[in-house]
């Protein structure tokens, strides 16, 4: 099945990224403890998407076919994560 929702990326600070990671895990995401890249801080798998936070401050979400992960509407990340990301998206 091809991805229906495109990948997304955001610039976030480390404290916000930690809050996002905690929220994703609370919602059923699984933290990948086997980080292979020296540039990654953490990685959480949720449904058919993977969210990765990099040392550069980039949070990246892979493309997905799951409507709960709509990149554009951020429905997976709502409401907690959207409230954390919106000031950064529109700044």
pLDDT at 24 exceeding the cut of 70: yes
pLDDT of residue 91: 41
Lowest mean pLDDT of 10-14, 36-40, 61-65, name the range.
Answer: 61-65
pLDDT of residue 14: 93
Statement: 8-89 belongs to CATH 3.40.50.11820: no
Going from N- to C-terminal start, the domains of the chain cover 8-89
In sequence order, the β-bridge partners of residue 64 are: 5
């Amino acid at each position: 099945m091809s991805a229906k929702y495109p990948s997304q990326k955001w610039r976030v600070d480390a404290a916000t990224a930690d809050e996002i990671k905690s929220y994703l895990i609370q919602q059923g995401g699984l933290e990948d403890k086997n980080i292979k890249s020296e540039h990654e801080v953490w990685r959480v798998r949720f449904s058919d998407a993977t969210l990765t936070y990099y040392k550069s401050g980039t949070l990246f979400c892979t493309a997905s076919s799951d409507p709960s992960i709509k990149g554009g509407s951020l429905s997976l990340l709502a409401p907690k994560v959207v409230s954390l990301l919106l000031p950064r998206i529109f700044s």
